[in-house]
Amino acid sequence: MLKNWAVMPTCLPLVLRRCHACASERFRAPGKFRVNAHHKLLDAWLLVLCTACGETAKLTVLERVHVRSVRPELLDRLHDNDPSLAAKLLRDPGVQRRNRIALDWDDAWRLDTGGSDHLDREVIDITVRFAARIPVRPVRLIAEGCGLSRAEVERLITEGKLVSSVRLCGKLSGDFTFTLKR
């Protein structure tokens, strides 16, 4: 039996970056932007708030970009504080690298298994799809989706009853499939 599972974001992840005011390392992104014009040049930032003290920090999105090189739709979305644009920019590796940040996805995603009617089958083929690049341990996903403990999932892997074409240790953020034999 083939089942499809989906890892879906539930909210924006926390931003890992040191706060200059209180030395906390977590910021939340409310989805607000600041756009500043210098004659024909634009700067745009995604604003993030420290979870401890509320201090605002700016993540650079555009820096000294000529006005005519920015698509009008993008500029409108920045001015309208588009939350989907904020989510897209937070996941952008270029924005993360430029601002020296990482994302904390703990409690910011959910696993949609489509029900538990597959748990009583002898052999199950499952495809896991990621709606966003959310780094998650496959063992955790399998344990949560099948109603097993992580130790039980590890035991099934060592016994060869849980197989996949990808390594199930470590974290994955891309689609994968696995087969569970009971």
pLDDT per residue as tens digits for the range 30-80: 999 999 999 899 999 999 999 999 999 999 999 999 999 999 999 999 999
CA–CA separation, 110 vs 171, rounded Å? Answer: 16
Half-sphere exposure of 59 (CA within 13 A, CB side): 34
Its pTM stands at 0.79
CB 59 within 8 A of CB 91: no
For residue 1, pLDDT over 80 is answered with no
Please report which confidence band the pLDDT of residue 123 belongs to, taking 50, 70 and 90 as the band edges.
confident
Q: Which of 35-44, 112-121, 130-139 has the lowest mean pLDDT?
A: 112-121
For residue 134, pLDDT over 80 is answered with yes
Secondary structure letter of residue 67 according to DSSP: G
How many C-beta neighbours within 10 Å does residue 166 have?
14
Tell me the two tokens of residue 37.
């014009």
CB 111 within 8 A of CB 170: no
pLDDT per residue as tens digits for the range 78-107: 999 999 999 999 999 999 999 999 999 999
